C-alpha cells in the first residue's frame, strides 16, 4: 500500500510539472508574440525554444484530432483537460482501495 501511495504521489508531481511547463510555454509564447522577448534576448528565448521543442510534438498530435475552432488553438486546453481527467481517475481508483 505504501508503494502504491508513493507511485501516486510521484504521478501527481509529474502531472503538476507538465502543467507548469505548459503554463510557461503559454506565457513565454505571449511574450515572444508581443515582442517583449526578441529572438536574440538570450536566456528566456532559449527557455522558450526548449519548451517549444518538448511541447510542440504533443500539441501536434492533439491538433490532428482537434482542429482550430474559429482560429483558436484548443490543443493546450485539451491537454489540461486530459491531465485533470487522469488525476480524477487516479483519485477514483485510489478511493476504491
Q: Is the pLDDT reported for residue 73 higher than 80? A: yes
Q: Is the pLDDT reported for residue 97 higher than 80? A: no
pLDDT in tens, 45-71: 999 999 999 999 999 999 999 988 998
Q: Which pLDDT score is estimated for 52? A: 94
Distance CA 11, CA 19 (A): 12
Q: What is the pTM of this model?
A: 0.85
The pLDDT mean for the chain works out to: 90
Reading the block at residue 72, the C-alpha cell is 483558436
Q: Is the pLDDT reported for residue 1 higher than 80? A: no
Q: Which pLDDT score is estimated for 4? A: 85
Mean per-residue pLDDT, 28-56: 89
> What is the number of alpha carbons within 13 Å of residue 15 lying toward its C-beta?
18
Amino acid at each position: 500500500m505504501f508503494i502504491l501511495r508513493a507511485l501516486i504521489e510521484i504521478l501527481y508531481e509529474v502531472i503538476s510539472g507538465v502543467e507548469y511547463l505548459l503554463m510557461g510555454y503559454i506565457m513565454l509564447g505571449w511574450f515572444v508574440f508581443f515582442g517583449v522577448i526578441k529572438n536574440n534576448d538570450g536566456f528566456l528565448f532559449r527557455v522558450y525554444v526548449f519548451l517549444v521543442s518538448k511541447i510542440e510534438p504533443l500539441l501536434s498530435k492533439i491538433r490532428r484530432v482537434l482542429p482550430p475552432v474559429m482560429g483558436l488553438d484548443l490543443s493546450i486546453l485539451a491537454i489540461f483537460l486530459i491531465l485533470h481527467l487522469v488525476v480524477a481517475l487516479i483519485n477514483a481508483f485510489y478511493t476504491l482501495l
